[in-house]
């Protein structure tokens, strides 16, 4: 059985979440003789890889040591968008006079904002659940920590999973940037995650985040809105040139491959 994973606060939403993505009564299946693929890590990357491979008819095992859905469902994309939406609602109410609407005194109940976040996260977790992957998508789901014990085998919870291919989708950890000057007195050991177990607003918190993915995503959103000036600022010229060069080379390679196939 999977180890009990405590999600704080232990309300009905977090209980639903845990039942979906780390069921404490989960019994790992008996491994088949040799999997076509073993996927280590049940975050976005691992779930998509496992579902895609199983959909193509491969025998697949997925191993997740803590929470299926990974950072995106539990600490990243989903919680942050719930908070962003609440912040936007508060800002729009506060600035309603811009639209000719009389403003009201906006009071944010942070506990309720977080409760809504937990409700949405619990609802969405059904899609990433162990039982959906096991019984609907045909993936053998193992809850536990995977460890390579050979070139074609991993061990999880005392069981050996043999594979033809393995996919390591164990995510990444943020590093503290080498910033000169005063250091924050405490840096969270979950530096790449929103700390989403709170029910009352933190008194002070500073966030510092920069990543290529974010830059590209922001730039493409601005680009779609036709905001080319801000696109240029967000997505600097050198990177745009590199992106065009890579894209151009990729397209030329694709055209070449298509032509070869046509000739063959």
State the minimum distance, in angstroms, from the CB of residue 154 to ligand FAD.
8
- Given the DSSP bridges, would you call strands 140-143 and 60-64 parallel, antiparallel or unpaired? parallel
**Would you say 39 and 46 are in contact if contact means Cβ atoms under 8 Å apart?**
yes
Judge if the upstream peptide bond of residue 9 is cis by omega within 30 degrees of 0. Answer: yes
Q: Is 145 exposed, middle or buried (0-12, 13-18, 19+ CB in 10 A)?
A: middle
How far apart are alpha carbons 25 and 23 in whole angstroms?
5
State the minimum distance, in angstroms, from the CB of residue 105 to ligand FAD.
30
State the minimum distance, in angstroms, from the CB of residue 227 to ligand FAD.
19
Could you list the residues that contact ligand FAD (CB under 6 A)?
A: 40-46, 63-67, 70-72, 76-77, 80, 145-146, 169-171, 192-194
**Would you say 81 and 120 are in contact if contact means Cβ atoms under 8 Å apart?**
no
State the minimum distance, in angstroms, from the CB of residue 144 to ligand FAD.
7
Nearer to ligand FAD, 23 or 46 (CB): 46
Nearer to ligand FAD, 47 or 122 (CB): 47
Nearer to ligand FAD, 108 or 174 (CB): 174
Phi/psi for 137 (5° steps) reads: -100, -10
Nearer to ligand FAD, 36 or 192 (CB): 192
State the minimum distance, in angstroms, from the CB of residue 174 to ligand FAD.
8
Nearer to ligand FAD, 221 or 253 (CB): 221
Nearer to ligand FAD, 94 or 134 (CB): 134
**Would you say 65 and 146 are in contact if contact means Cβ atoms under 8 Å apart?**
yes
> Hunting for tokens 């390679």 — which residue is that?
253
The two counts, helices (H) then strands (E), for the chain are 9, 6
State the minimum distance, in angstroms, from the CB of residue 233 to ligand FAD.
20
Host H or E run for residue 87: helix 77-94
């Amino acid at each position: 059985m999977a180890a009990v994973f405590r999600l704080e606060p232990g309300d009905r939403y977090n209980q639903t979440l845990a039942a979906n993505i780390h069921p404490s009564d989960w019994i790992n299946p008996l491994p088949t003789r040799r999997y076509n693929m073993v996927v280590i890590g049940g975050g976005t990357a691992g779930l998509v890889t496992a579902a895609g491979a199983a959909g193509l008819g491969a025998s697949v095992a997925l191993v997740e040591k803590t929470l299926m859905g990974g950072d995106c469902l539990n600490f990243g994309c989903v919680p942050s968008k719930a908070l962003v939406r609440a912040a936007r609602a508060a800002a729009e109410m506060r600035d309603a006079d811009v639209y000719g609407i009389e403003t009201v005194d906006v009071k944010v109940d942070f506990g309720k904002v977080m409760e809504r976040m937990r409700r949405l996260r619990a609802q969405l977790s059904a899609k990433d659940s162990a039982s959906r992957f096991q019984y609907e998508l045909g993936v053998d789901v193992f809850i536990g920590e995977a460890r390579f014990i050979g070139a074609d085998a991993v061990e999880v919870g005392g069981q050996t999973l043999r594979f033809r291919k393995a996919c390591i989708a164990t995510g990444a950890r943020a590093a503290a940037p080498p910033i000169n000057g005063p250091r924050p007195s405490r840096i969270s050991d979950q530096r790449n995650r929103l700390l989403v177990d709170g029910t009352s607003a933190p008194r002070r918190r500073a966030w510092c985040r920069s990543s290529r993915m974010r830059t590209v995503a922001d730039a493409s959103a601005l680009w779609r809105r036709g905001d080319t000036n801000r696109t240029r600022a967000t997505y600097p010229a050198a990177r745009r040139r590199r992106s065009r060069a890579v894209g151009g080379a990729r397209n030329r390679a694709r055209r070449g491959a298509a032509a070869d196939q046509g000739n063959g």
